Structure 1
């Protein structure tokens, strides 16, 4: 039985300082010094709050918020300082922003806080709880602050990995187009590594896939090496600019998008942005714009700190992993890797039949996911 939500409150959460660099375009946002959340209150007072987060997406209107409040649990859609623009995003600053939000909610009197990582929030919430329980990261991959070992990072009471992937650098590398041979011209392509060349498939042979996956990692590493070279050049003038923007072409080329025989599921061919051949190059899809420092923190397969399984293995709280069987973004193997990494037995892995990535147009599944989360919290004792 559900009840109307009591009210919605916009939360202005004081933002922790990071490294002094300007990495937010908007002067209004910088001067406000806040990250934002939307609190959906239950009709009766709740001592438990569920907070949903992503590194850059706007979750102020997340689909879980109203259903949770109607069922008697307060819910918060969180943002980070990078809402809507991840071109200069540092994962370590996102951890600071979550820490500020969790401390804010503790000060509000919530006794139990559940952190939900949806989509790219999966790896981030794992990183957060890892650093909250056993802080170990003293700087970004570029050597900059923040030092998370000295930050205020209150641990949460439970984690939910919802239609989540293991981390932005991991999934980005799985999507990176290895056929691009000129970083400045995406039309120059290696036909032997082109998943969009019908001579290669779909379906794709095991031999092609092995070469393809290796070439994706190799391209990621070439970009990282170039980034390191550019940063070393900039460092020669300590009074000059210490970061630069650049473009990455071809970021939507996972063979699973077009070959449904790879990791079979209920998904349709394509991506959230339409056909893979279009999403691969369109500006509005994943990770086409980055700064040098952001690349190392966010997209470098070897240097990013945001490795979900690595950090989940350092956590101790109850963990629920849910995946959609029709998800075109986060695949069952992603969920399995997150689940397998949890080092204790207070964990659960569940598939949402026919569930797409954001359950768009699937209100009955939104209710099902909400009920499942609350039932699981009751079974673990997190929600009394």
Structure 2
């Protein structure tokens, strides 16, 4: 079992000991972007998974199961789709790598555990739609403010439809700005022999309001047994505190990692290309990866060798419930052996 995530340090993943106790060799992967996703390029993470699977094959392992956990779900699906049917010749910004020319040994099976469909999707579902000026997060559209009492919770179907569309449009608005900035950088380029040296080909920027999913406040939206909170605490504070998801990124990383239209690490788009068995496992008390996410990924698999598993009472990290983490590992191992 190889457990992966784009940026988290999985070298000490909580499932490793439980999987080993069940007689399965298991390893966690830390990509080159471990602990810092500000310049993360998903296509480079694909190469890192390839190196790990290639190493395991070299050690003599005949069967390798790729486990995408949490944000690793979209990445694992992208990897397996490219290993089976490579078609990406560059990043969304037009940079290397060319995955059609890379050595991408396919995994024998895929597990999407406590996973969401991809960083760009879950990020867009949490973008604060009320922010109308990227430089002033408290200049807000009152009609699209999920934190305004007049709008809910509970939220009406009409508000949710308008809110979700506004989230996508905000993501696309940022993407259009990113593309203009990259074009401007290209126009400013000059040779390394210049007194000032070469012009940078990337720049950082800040995105405010990244923890504003209505599911964080309204239990009727995507019903489950979850607590009404985020992985970083109450939604209003988490929405603005610097340490939450994707507050700082670079232009090129935005396109590869966070852009709703450009990021390729999207499980529902990748899974139709996957031919190996796939297991989707989710917890019904998870406040980060929701039941609809699991169903969306499961439904995207076109073949019949698939399984959807619910772990009742499990939150995203199995906090205080090591027995449920063990149950998840048992379900993975039993399925993989079958």
TM over 0.5: yes
Structure 1 residues 163-182: aligned runs within 5 Å: 163-182=114-133
Equivalent residue number for residue 140 of structure 2: 189
Equivalent residue number for residue 320 of structure 1: 279
Displaced runs of 4 or more, over 3 A? none
Equivalent residue number for residue 112 of structure 1: 63
**Structure 1 unaligned residues grouped into runs of 5+:** 1-49, 380-384
Equivalent residue number for residue 266 of structure 2: 307
- CA positional deviation for 1:361: 1.6
Q: What secondary structure does 2:260 align onto?
A: coil
- CA positional deviation for 1:114: 0.4
Equivalent residue number for residue 17 of structure 1: none
- Give TM-score, length-normalised by structure 2: 0.97
Equivalent residue number for residue 338 of structure 1: 297
- CA positional deviation for 1:360: 1.9
1:11-68 per-residue CA deviation (whole Å, 9 max, x = no partner) reads xxxxxxxxxxxxxxxxxxxxxxxxxxxxxxxxxxxxxxx0100000111111110011
Alignment partners' CA distance in 2, 1:236 and 1:268: 49
- CA positional deviation for 1:378: 1.7
2:17 aligned with 1:66, yes or no? yes
Q: Which has the higher strand share?
A: 1
Matched residues, number: 330
Equivalent residue number for residue 237 of structure 2: 278
1:283-312 per-residue CA deviation (whole Å, 9 max, x = no partner) reads 111000000000000000011111111111
1:120-143 per-residue CA deviation (whole Å, 9 max, x = no partner) reads 100000000000001000001100
Q: What secondary structure does 2:114 align onto?
A: strand
Alignment partners' CA distance in 1, 2:18 and 2:215: 32
Alignment partners' CA distance in 2, 1:261 and 1:167: 23
1:196-254 per-residue CA deviation (whole Å, 9 max, x = no partner) reads 11111000111111110110001000000000000000001233111100000000000
Q: What secondary structure does 2:310 align onto?
A: strand
Alignment partners' CA distance in 1, 2:254 and 2:58: 34
2:320 aligned with 1:361, yes or no? yes
Which of residues 114, 132, 137 is equivalent to 2:88? 137
Alignment partners' CA distance in 1, 2:177 and 2:151: 30
Q: What secondary structure does 1:374 align onto?
A: helix
Which of residues 254, 260, 263 is equivalent to 1:295? 254
Alignment partners' CA distance in 1, 2:255 and 2:104: 23
- Give TM-score, length-normalised by structure 1: 0.85
2:303 aligned with 1:352, yes or no? no
